[in-house]
Amino acid sequence: MSKKQYDYLIVGAGLFGAVFAHEAKRAGKHCLVIDKRNHRGGNIYCEDVDGIHVHKYGAHIFHTDNKEVWDYVNRFVEFNRYTNSPLACFEGKLYNLPFNMNTFYQLWGVKTPAEAKAKIAEQRRKYDAISEPANLEEQALKLCGEDIYHTLIKGYTEKQWGRSATELPAFIIKRVPFRFIFDNNYFNDGYQGIPKGGYNVLIDRLLEGTEVRLDTNYFEHRDELDALADKILFTGCIDEFFDYQCGRLEYRSLRFDHKRLEIEDFQGNAVVNYTEGSVPYTRIIEHKHFEYGTQPTTVITYEYPDSFEAGKEPYYPVNDERNSAMFAEYQRLAAKKENVLFGGRLGQYTYADMDDTVAAALQLCAQVL
């Protein structure tokens, strides 16, 4: 039997597919990468507007404790020192995130860790009678008390999930992390930053020397594309690959409204969350602040949570009991596909940070290449 044109057909030019393509090329494999969108990079794609790298699909901050992964991505692009320090806006007042001494001072005027701990304990005491929280609201009140819950958690969470906090399961919030220090760094990881020049630089360098076809929908040309390669790496929705034969997995979606403004600075910070339920968007992103931009204009993005349906982008898996059981069925089907690999957040039905995505791709490479 004659050898096919490519060793691997990689469906999806996002971070997972790009890392795999790079490592496959290094291993002497010939790959074809396809993507249904008109650009590479998946959800980390950046659009250049006035020299500002606009995170087209929402804020992406690379953070990790995995030195191997950090060293790996730094081989392709230098990262800046950006530190994620979001703000929350509630009824016109700003609060620092994550929940730290700045937040507690803004809420209650407390100035020491001892005062903050006493105030939180006092607020939690009211809910001691709740032994088994029946929903997310009861869980959050038991963990942090009413001020933090109503100001910073309730409205934001209800918008994200499109359901009342009394209808959401308690397990969504397992704990509320309090930091009794004046430090607004959102992440605990040792390494953090944004690629200088934006994420496109990282993706382009990973895919250097690999053939990429954009505006190519795998499902519209499936037989023709399958015939080109010995093996397939599929990073799209696993239920779609199997024609939904076990049912449709649920997701939450997002909608983005980008605006270019003829002003130098809109909000003075990259990310401001809006925690009131009455405000329809969950956050406003100002992209220039990811890279300390000094452009005379700015670009902001209103991020809206959205229900998922055909034609919309799937973002967050709904990892409840029903969907987890359905995904397990798809995994059993996937295990029977000898020449198909599944990867990425959609192929693995998971919410994955970028460092986890890189690590998972490298792990797969080590297994199969």
Residue 21 has pLDDT above 80, yes or no: yes
User: Which residues have CB under 8 Å from 341's CB, separation 6+?
Assistant: 231, 232, 233, 234, 364, 368
CATH class of 6-82+190-249+317-368: alpha beta
**Residue 314: pLDDT band with limits 50, 70, 90:** very high
Q: Are 291 and 201 in contact (CB under 8 A)?
A: no
CA proximity to 354, closest of 189, 168, 129, 107: 189
Which sequence positions are flagged as catalytic? 175, 179, 252, 283, 303, 351, 353
Predicted pLDDT at 320? 84
Judge if the upstream peptide bond of residue 133 is cis by omega within 30 degrees of 0. no
pLDDT at 1 over 70: no
Assess whether pLDDT exceeds 70 at residue 223: yes
Vertex 180: Cα angle to 175 and 181 (nearest 5): 130
Amino acid 3: pLDDT: 78
User: For the chain, which residues make up each domain, given as ranges?
Assistant: 6-82+190-249+317-368, 98-172
Report how far residue 340's alpha carbon sits from residue 3's, in angstroms, rounded to the nearest whole number: 17
Whether residue 110 has pLDDT greater than 90: yes
Which whole-number Å values give the CA distances from 74 to 197, 293, 352, in the listed order?
13, 21, 20
pLDDT at 2: 54
Q: What is the pLDDT of residues 55-72, one digit of tens each?
A: 999 999 999 999 999 999
Helices 136-144/154-161 angle, 10° precision: 150
105-126 burial code (b ≥16 CB/10 A, e <16):
bbbbebeeeebbeebbeebbee
Residue 194 in contact with residue 291, Cβ under 8 Å? Answer: yes
pLDDT at residue 319, rounded to an integer: 82
Query: What tens digit of pLDDT does each residue of 126-165 get?
Result: 999 999 999 999 999 999 999 999 999 999 999 999 999 9
* pTM reported for the whole predicted model: 0.95
Helix, strand and coil in the chain, % to nearest 5: 35, 20, 45
The owner of tokens 């990811």 is 290
The number of C-alpha atoms within 13 Å of 180 and in the hemisphere containing its C-beta is 11
108 pLDDT band (50/70/90 cuts)?
very high
Let me know the angle formed at the C-alpha of 254 by 249 and 256, rounded to the nearest 5 degrees: 155
**Got the DSSP string for 192-233?**
EE-BTT-HHHHHHHHTTTSEEE-S--GGGSHHHHHTTEEEEE
Asked if 238 and 347 touch (Cβ cutoff 8 Å), the reply is: yes
Tally the residues of the chain. 369
196 to each of 16, 159, 288, 341, how far by Cα in Å?
20, 33, 12, 32
> pLDDT tens digit string along 244-278?
999 999 999 999 999 999 999 999 999 999 999 99
pLDDT in tens, 171-208: 889 889 999 999 999 999 999 999 999 999 999 999 99
Identify the helix (H) or strand (E) that includes residue 26.
helix 15-26
Q: Does an H or E element contain 308, and which? A: none
Confidence (pLDDT) at 238: 98
Give the DSSP letter string of 101-141. HHHHHHHH---SHHHHHHHHHHHHHTTTT-SS--SHHHHHH
